[in-house]
Amino acid sequence: MLSIVIPAYNEEQRLPRTIEQIERYLDGRQISYELILVDDGSKDGTRQVMDAAAERNPRIRLEALPGNRGKGRALATGVAVARGEEVLVTDADLSTPIEELEKLEAALKSGAGVAIASRAVRGSRIDIRQPIYRVLMGKAFNVIVQVVLLPGIWDTQCGFKLFRADVALPVFAALTTDGFGYDPEVLYLAKRRGVKIVEVPVVWQHSAPTKVMPIRSSFDMFKHVVRVRFKR
């Protein structure tokens, strides 16, 4: 079985379409799956959207945090209850189309423990680009991650990652970063366990609005990367 974990904070507008796309795609492939939706303390109608989806589809499961903790903590909460042999974590906006899953599955079948969607390796295609300031900030952050934690990985921040369950459960259980900086820590923990990590070129498109705040989020992610490197 495949487990898909989606964290959501105030996503009542985008989540219904994302759920529908995932259901249609997986049902078409006749894949056994569970879809774990994690409400990260939303203040809009996100929980009502989740409740309605779970009522009509028994393969949809809900988890909820009492308050807004951040993307990393929401994902850790969802992964902790995953029952599948493989675990896909993806964003509520589905910037990487669910159809790209097959590329990541192929990487796991070839021996990887983690397959991460990448916008930075040859063969990737960006249909809708981010604003230039976000592109530049992302490149600068990636340079820091490569120097401090993960040399050779060119895009840690794309939110579409497939894990073997025996990798996902322990690394997310050990996660200490609650916010957007969770990606480098999870990958670093996997690397320390000797897990093979493969970057897979994908189709990607920017989806606005975003919850990432350019200055504050970048500073927080930088702080967490440094902390992870020198505390572990």
Give phi and psi for 86, each to the nearest 5.
-130, 150
Q: What is the mean pLDDT of residues 11-34?
A: 96
> What is the pTM for the complete model shown?
0.87
In order of their start, the domains of the chain are 2-231 (3.90.550.10)
Which pLDDT score is estimated for 232?
A: 55
Q: Are strands 125-128 and 60-65 parallel, antiparallel or unpaired?
A: unpaired
Exposed (0-12), middle (13-18) or buried (19+): which is 153, by Cβ within 10 Å? buried
Task: Please tell me whether the peptide bond between 97 and the residue prior to it is cis, using omega within 30 degrees of 0.
Answer: no
Which pLDDT score is estimated for 219?
A: 61
- pLDDT reading at 22 higher than 90: yes
Find the farthest-apart pair of alpha carbons in the chain and give their distance in angstroms, rounded: 47
Which pLDDT score is estimated for 180?
A: 80
Which pLDDT score is estimated for 34?
A: 98
Give phi and psi for 225, each to the nearest 5.
-60, -45
| Nearest Cα residue to 46 out of 7, 102, 100, 72 | 7
Q: What is the number of H-type helices and E-type strands within the chain?
A: 8, 9
Cα torsion 27, 33, 39, 40: sign: negative
